[in-house]
């Protein structure tokens, strides 16, 4: 997370073992710390909506 924060990224994607098993990916806002889990097949839509 530090590297993403230092790079100026606005969001980070988090996928641990449990996420992968569940078919989800965490989408975390680096400015607020808020993280939501979304279905893996919806990650692109979620990222685009947060960046626009």
Which SS3 state, helix, strand or coil, does residue 39 take?
Answer: strand
pTM (2 decimals)? 0.84
Determine the pLDDT at residue 8: 85
pLDDT digits (tens, 9 = 90+) for 1-52: 777 777 889 999 999 999 999 999 999 999 999 999 999 999 999 999 999 8
Per-residue pLDDT at 6: 77
Q: What is the DSSP letter of 27?
A: E
Nearest to 37 by CA among 14, 17, 21: 14
Sign of torsion over alpha carbons 32, 1, 12, 34: negative
């Amino acid at each position: 997370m530090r590297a993403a924060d230092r790079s100026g990224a606005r969001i980070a994607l988090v996928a641990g073992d449990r996420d992968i098993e569940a078919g989800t990916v965490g989408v975390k806002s680096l400015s607020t710390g808020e993280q939501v889990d979304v279905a893996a097949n919806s990650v692109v839509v979620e990222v685009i909506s947060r960046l626009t």
